[in-house]
Structure 1
Amino acid sequence: MDAQVLGGALQGISCEKDVLIEILTQRCNSQRLMIAEAYRDMYGRDLITDLKENLSHHFKEVMVGLMYPPASYDAHELWHALKGVDTEEKCLIDILASRSNMEIFQMKEAYLMQYNTDLQQDIDSETSGHFRDTLMNLAQGTRMEGYADPSTATQDAMILWEACQQKTGEHKNMLQMILCNRSHQQLWMVFQEFQNISGQDIVDAINECYDGYFQELLVAIVLCIRDKPSYFAYRLYNAIHDFGFHNKTVIRILIARSEIDLMNIRQRYKERYGKSLFHDIKHFASGHYESALLAICAGDTEDY
């Protein structure tokens, strides 16, 4: 039924955008994939192709983005971040600093299938320095999971402290090795030991000692380990307020997190910044694009 309604909305005299929003934002990803399959059977056409042909600008990006499986969407975003006119380092940071081993494995498989090239090779060729090395480490997807050893937490914290003091290439390598490979449980203890040793929070120390995208990536890893929804709330706030509404970032985070932790992100956003995510999107976006973003954002309209 959804496929039939979408067909009517897309193939009529004028595209009925409200109908597209009503259906595609209110179905989960697995349902949208089934709708796309039914659409192909019914019309002999690809739904994504028809969306691209009938829509434009940021509204098209939202509607098409919703149609990708999560791993394929990550792969799509990484490809464009790496192969666009300018490398979009912040996109690489958002995705690779926040995904689990399994998500990274699935993303690499999708990347290879969609673009017939290896993600790590593209990172290697399109980025540089310690930023590249850290991305490459994350893209291996080999972080230890569920393992914590209090006896080595102090040792790791000492290594991090020395890395922040010495700042040599070798120390930078040790820093990123620990942040990229230790389990989240282990790193919680390491961060606490770092505070005990240095009297300073690890994020403050990184911000003082390093700069550029390497520093941003290290901070993102720490923040994602501590509280992923808070990290994405912070990224959304910056994208909305600091960049005059950075559309790509807002779209990517809303779509990628919509079935994972968007409700928690919304909660952190309101707690930290005083106004709801819904309010800020409504203030800066407009038209069907605004309606689509708000429909994904969803929920708790009485608070807005």
Structure 2
Amino acid sequence: MSLSGDMEEYAEVPTVVPAANFDAVADAHALRAAMKGFGTDEQVIIDILCLRSNAQRQAITEAYKKEFGRVEEGSNKKPRQDLIADLKSELGGNFENVIIGLMLPTDEYCAKQLYKAMKGIGTSDDVLVEILCSRPYDEIVQIAAAYEKLYGSSLEADIQGDTSGPFQRLLVMALQGLRDNYAYDPAKAEEQAQILYNAGEGTVGTDENAFVEILGHAGQRHAYLIFQEYKKISGKTIEQAMESEMSGELLHGLLAMVKTVHNRPAYFAERLEAAMKGLGTDDDALIRIIVSRCEIDLANIKFEYERMHGKTLLSAVKGETSGDYRNALLALIGSA
């Protein structure tokens, strides 16, 4: 498809795919051998868990429980031996965060990241934006269901309790799936582009709610038409206009929506570069993006990263990390 030359339609390409000749029981035994006794063979853990699909990792978890359940005294029942618990007891730091992240179903992993972003003092708005403003609605539904199952409260209610104003409205709209991803109307897009111009550049002050209502409802195809029409009216891209009119978390949320309409892998490539540039590395962001996208479109993200930054994602991550943590991330990114 192409409504126009700049909107890219692509096949999602993962870097982690199901392993051929998979044997969950053999993998469970190999992991047990790598962890028992003195010391841990981290490379075995990487070679197995970073080179299996999420479904295969779930099968390994089940096989591990069956193979290594211990019999308690005075009981005929076999309590389950938990692979994640054993991994946590043997690993540490960022390496542990990568491996434990891989062991969770992706929707559960993202739900945990959202909970972590909201609990305690303050809210990590960038994490809420990255997860909720960049994903298709079917993924968000699964994440919200996993969140409620894990924490006993609705994701929407918790977001309403932790955010406010137009930013809250933007996140709630993403959760409610108000976008129609198939409908598009050129005449309506032209009208809405004019409304957005009048709400921002064309007036003193900015009507942020107009941006939230229009962009929060527009599906990918229709949103792209709005962006084309906006540029005709303003001479600026919608991103340039928003950056001059807004700031803070609302700007980041709206930009995430706009950028993922144009090119979702490029949005994540940009996020990865932001995690690595400057002094220090945002390891949480690096891990979150690589773990959550490796079975979806990390190969596309790698391509966009190199196109945008003139270096490979592999070399960038290699320069920012070390040890088993580095080796695990490089295995997920892949050399091809």
TM-score bracket for the superposition, by shorter chain length = over 0.9
User: Who is 1:125 aligned against?
Assistant: 161
Give the CA deviation at 1:85.
4.2
User: Who is 2:99 aligned against?
Assistant: 63
Q: TM-score, normalised by structure 1?
A: 0.95
The whole-number CA distance in structure 1 between the counterparts of 2:278 and 2:261 is 24
Indicate if the aligned counterparts of 1:245 and 1:284 stay in contact, CA closer than 8 A: yes
Give the % identical residues. 37
The whole-number CA distance in structure 1 between the counterparts of 2:155 and 2:205 is 28
Residue aligned with 1:292, SS: helix
Matched, 1:147 2:183: yes
The whole-number CA distance in structure 1 between the counterparts of 2:119 and 2:242 is 29
Deviations 1:146-174 (A, max 9, x none): 111112110111111122234768x3222
Matched, 1:212 2:237: no
The whole-number CA distance in structure 2 between the counterparts of 1:269 and 1:172 is 31
Give the CA deviation at 1:242.
3.5
Match of 1:185 among 212, 215, 221: 221
Pairing of 1:18-37 with structure 2 (within 5 A): 18-37=43-62
Deviations 1:108-137 (A, max 9, x none): 110000111110111111122222221111
The whole-number CA distance in structure 2 between the counterparts of 1:167 and 1:63 is 51
Match of 1:96 among 120, 126, 132: 132
The number of residues matched between the two structures is: 299
User: Who is 2:111 aligned against?
Assistant: 75
Indicate if the aligned counterparts of 1:167 and 1:209 stay in contact, CA closer than 8 A: no
Give the CA deviation at 1:10.
1.9
Which structure has the highest helix share of the two? 1
User: Who is 2:36 aligned against?
Assistant: 11
The whole-number CA distance in structure 2 between the counterparts of 1:11 and 1:178 is 57
The whole-number CA distance in structure 2 between the counterparts of 1:295 and 1:84 is 33
Indicate if the aligned counterparts of 1:224 and 1:231 stay in contact, CA closer than 8 A: yes
The whole-number CA distance in structure 2 between the counterparts of 1:49 and 1:86 is 29
The whole-number CA distance in structure 2 between the counterparts of 1:250 and 1:130 is 28
Computing the radius of gyration over CA atoms, which structure comes out larger, 1 or 2?
A: 2
**What is the one-letter code of the residue matched to 2:58?**
L
Higher RCO structure (Cα 8 Å, ≥6 apart): 2
**What is the one-letter code of the residue matched to 1:41?**
K
